[in-house]
Structure 1
């Protein structure tokens, strides 16, 4: 477990969690900017359960020194590399299944782990599996809680698969891919 405490005369912020959580969200929360905005940095303290005292002229350097864990790629290494392989293994029967599987493939192969309708439509069309209204299918899948909308950029929804549904498909894909190796 890791813990970051930021204290000043008027403000106290405490963030606690696994080292991976702290590392991931310290960047997203822009802790560098937050610490810079605190007027009395002499009262800033950053702690970790493995380090009892930390005397550093730059408390921000500790945020970067949290041990960097590499993302878990064990599933990705086991998963089929090409979308055609995913389609052959799962063999989706409905448009919603096709859209969900394609979204998961795009999510697993993107840096930001998300997807939108246009790449889904393009990939399905490339593989001879066109779906007429991908946005409508995404909305229906969202209503079933198999995916959720992260944000909206203009009129484009950005989605991510829900963990239980994602886990089930990933396990099926990985097991078949492992058998074939």
Structure 2
């Protein structure tokens, strides 16, 4: 099993309910975008170019995603490249508007997440493993790709492993 399959299946073990996955299609992009908004305000000028904390986080994330899967990494780069200018624009607003929008988007995103986990009847994956915070956006992208009918072999392996992990998690919960 590749590292990508391992990470996606670990995350998927907490996300087997279709309603939960659907809420993540809204919640995770909102959370990621809000973090971009919050971190796009912090930056330094280097040779006439503004290097923001958001752009550094994007580069680090994309490098990580590319190390896991070239196609998903490239897709994440495209998504981040489209979203960043909007986040940067919000970051340039007056302080109260920037904070209200950024934090508001963040909170609403998490509300969607927790509603989804209510349906799932499982805690969020990051509670057991903080890597889940980085894998969440990749999971949503993978689920979207699967909905398009692509990478079905990866989806099948991921779901098979996730169901086994979920059964183990449920068995442990019964014994505790």
- Tell me the TM-score normalised to structure 1 length: 0.28
- Tell me the TM-score normalised to structure 2 length: 0.28
Structure with the bigger percentage of strand: 1
More contact order relative to length (CA 8 Å, sep ≥ 6): 2
